[in-house]
């Protein structure tokens, strides 16, 4: 997976669930099963999306639905066919992609 | 907001303030008022910028000024006219943009 | 550092060490010594890479090796010659780059 590849970013809410699981955990396992190269999940502290409702980690709002960000990396040939399925699993989220140049993946080197 | 769009990233310090508010919270509300499509804020654990001062979350340095990252997504037509204002609100930060391909935004699907 | 520049992203494990230091802290100091413009480090809550081992921050797994993400920004002329060294310091990680448009860096403005 060196050279031209793709980064797919998915933004969703921490409280969203799918098949009795947090949606982001479901997605990570689903991507792993599909053999996608690498996935990293981060939690934001504040944000809003299409519904313009602000989610925040400020004091006294501990139960709020914080943003979750997935960064998914693989060749375009691997990622592109999965995008429609990812979009249907993430009904309320934001999904976008961009081209990247991979210099190292695991034990191989440019 | 499907197809070609723009990701604007803004890096600033958690302790920076603007009009009696943390700067990043001011920015999120300002972007929401301007009708910008989506914003996600994350907090880093370490970093440095132009002044080459290292900010870190290591033990015994709890009060340090951690990096805050804003990810702002919308069409270029929406984001480009706001960039000069964002740059003047963020005097010490880093602001950059890149082109993205949006596959899903809220309830719509590619 | 305004106009066309480069974002280099490095993904590694929080528990990886190099020369008696957490690897990510070593890398940040090394990049600062090399005069690289800006670096921001974030910690993810879950992820997997080439070995397909899932690292997660879920309950009862507090000691797990969480993902660390470095975002490194400078001109391509500054970053490109450092990529082979970064790749050799990060034996198990993912390293990729993309072109960005810098609108502000520190006290200067577009």
CA gap A31, C92 in Å, rounded: 20
Number of Cβ pairs closer than 8 Å across A and B? 84
CA gap A31, C46 in Å, rounded: 13
Q: Is B8 on the interface with A (CB under 8 A)?
A: no
Q: Is A101 on the interface with B (CB under 8 A)?
A: no
Residue in A25, A38, A43 closest to C49 by CB: A38
Q: Do C90 and A104 touch (CB under 8 A)?
A: yes
Q: Do C46 and A25 touch (CB under 8 A)?
A: yes
- Mean pLDDT for the stretch of residues A33-57: 94
Percent of chain C past pLDDT 90, that is, above it, reads 81
Question: Residue B36, class by beta-carbon neighbours within 10 Å (0-12 exposed, 13-18 middle, 19+ buried)?
Answer: buried
pTM score > 0.90 for this model? yes
Q: Do A54 and B32 touch (CB under 8 A)?
A: yes
Percent of chain B past pLDDT 70, that is, above it, reads 92
Q: Is the pLDDT of residue C110 over 50?
A: no
Q: Do C106 and B49 touch (CB under 8 A)?
A: yes
CATH domain A8-97 topology = Alpha-Beta Plaits (3.30.70)
Instruction: Specify whether the CB–CB gap between B102 and B22 falls below 8 A.
Output: no
- Given pLDDT bands bounded at 50, 70 and 90, which one contains residue A110? very low
Q: Do B96 and C101 touch (CB under 8 A)?
A: yes
Q: What pLDDT is stored for residue B18 in this prediction?
A: 94
Q: What is the DSSP string of C24-90?
A: HHHHHHHHHHTT-SEEEEEE-SEEE-TT---EE--TT-TTS--EEEEEEEE-HHHHGGGHHHHHHH-
**Which site among C36, C38, C43, C104 would you substitute to test the B interface, given the most B Cβ atoms closer than 10 Å to its Cβ?**
C104
CA gap A85, A90 in Å, rounded: 9
Instruction: Specify whether the CB–CB gap between C14 and C66 falls below 8 A.
Output: yes
Chains that touch B (3 or more CB pairs under 8 A): A, C
Residue in A42, A48, A52 closest to B42 by CB: A42
Calculate the average pLDDT of chain A: 92
Q: What pLDDT is stored for residue A63 in this prediction?
A: 59
- Given pLDDT bands bounded at 50, 70 and 90, which one contains residue C108? very low
Percent of chain A past pLDDT 70, that is, above it, reads 92
Q: What is the pLDDT of residues B23-72, one digit of tens each?
A: 999 999 999 999 999 999 999 999 999 989 999 887 655 567 899 999 99
Q: How distant is the Cα of A27 from the closest Cα of chain B, in angstroms?
A: 16
Question: Left if phi > 0, otherwise alpha if psi is -120 to 50, otherwise beta: which for A3?
Answer: left
Q: What is the ipTM of this complex?
A: 0.92
Calculate the average pLDDT of chain B: 92
Residue ranges covered by each domain of chain B: 8-97
Candidates C80, A86, A100, A12; CA nearest to B98 is A100
Neighbours of A51 (CB within 10 A): 9
CA gap C73, C7 in Å, rounded: 5
């Amino acid at each position: 997976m060196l050279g031209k590849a793709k980064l797919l970013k998915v933004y969703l809410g921490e409280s969203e669930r799918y098949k009795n699981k947090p949606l982001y955990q479901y997605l990570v396992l689903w991507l792993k099963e599909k053999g996608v190269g690498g996935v990293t999940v981060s939690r934001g502290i504040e944000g809003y999306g299409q519904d313009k409702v602000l989610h925040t980690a400020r004091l006294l709002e501990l139960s709020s639905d914080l943003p979750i960000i997935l960064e998914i990396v693989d060749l375009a040939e691997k990622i592109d066919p999965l995008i429609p399925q990812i979009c249907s699993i993430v009904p309320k989220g934001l999904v976008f992609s961009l081209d990247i140049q991979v210099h190292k993946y695991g034990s191989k080197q440019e």
